[in-house]
Amino acid sequence: MRAAIAAAMTRSKREIPHYYLGSEIDVERALQWLERFNEARPLAGRVLFAAFALRAVALALREVPDLNGQFVDGRFRRSESIHVGVVTSLRGGGIVVPAVHDADRLALPELMAALRDVLARARSGRLRSSDLADSTITVTNLGDLGVETVFGVIYPPQVALVGLGRVAARPAVRDGAIVASRTMNATLSGDHRVTDGLTGARFLAALRARFEDPEAS
């Protein structure tokens, strides 16, 4: 496992000229909306914030598709489908990156079910080859462990990785007053062979909009 991770990450840092962007995103409205959404749902059917975040990433990719795909044989191949790879830690050590397929087309409850399924199969060693081969972007979320900001290494042959940090109440200015609002640091690692910082900034702006206007998501 460590040898496979080392080979992939060494290849990534050797071949991919990374650029990094970060943005603090106000997620207060999204969390409040999600709490209301879950009120009428049974406990086992409630949607976690992680699923909302994955869908937000997928919908942002619809607006900025140049980050969605793979770099193969010296050129970028944009994917019409959005398959979000989720970095998953294994109980015995190491990580895998299974995909949630067509994440932009799934309603939140469906995406939550798909996420639960793929994580359960990853941790029990029952992943299919398609789970690991066709992701078009990766998301790594270390916020639950208290990490503020994640600057990830792109998983080749993909061309972008989104890092999500912890959600915490921080001072924010609204209508001229300082209030406590829950925010999260989101980062993008991009492949400079395919896109530039302007594209990455557009993606982070689209991602921010998904969180700040959850009704539209």
pLDDT digits (tens, 9 = 90+) for 42-92: 988 899 999 999 999 999 999 999 999 999 999 999 999 999 999 999 888
Which is catalytic among the residues 73, 102, 191, 196? 196
The C-alpha atoms of residue 191 and residue 70 are separated, in whole angstroms, by: 10
Alpha carbon distance 6, 22 (integer Å): 25
Instruction: State the residue for tokens 């790594």.
Output: 140
For residue 2, what pLDDT is reported?
83
CA atoms within a 13 Å half-sphere pointing along the CA-CB vector of 42: 2
CA–CA gap between residue 70 and residue 32 (Å, rounded):
35
Tell whether the model's pLDDT for residue 133 goes beyond 90.
no
192 is catalytic: yes
Residue range 92-119: mean pLDDT, rounded: 94
Average pLDDT over all residues of the chain: 94
Fold of the domain built from segment(s) 2-216: Chloramphenicol Acetyltransferase (3.30.559)
User: Where along the chain do its domains lie?
Assistant: 2-216
Alpha-carbon span 163 to 192, nearest angstrom: 17
Percentages helix, strand, coil for the chain, rounded to the nearest 5?
40, 30, 30
Chain centroid to CA 189: 11
Average pLDDT over residues 5-32: 95
18, 144, 191, 192: the catalytic one is 192
* Bridge partners for 190 per DSSP: 19, 160
Residues of the chain with pLDDT > 90: what percent? Answer: 81
Evaluate if residue 169 carries a pLDDT over 70.
yes
Look at residue 217 and tell me whether its pLDDT is greater than 80: no
What number is the average pLDDT over the span 104-118?
Answer: 96
Q: Is the pLDDT of residue 35 over 90?
A: yes
83 is catalytic: no
In the chain, the amino acid numbered 149 is T
pLDDT recorded at residue 148: 95
CA 136/CA 83 separation, integer angstroms: 5
Res 211 pLDDT > 80? yes
Per residue in 170-181, pLDDT tens?
988 888 889 899
Residue with tokens 């989720």: 86
| Helix, strand or coil, per DSSP, at residue 184 | strand
pLDDT at 216 over 80: no
pLDDT above 80 (res 200): yes
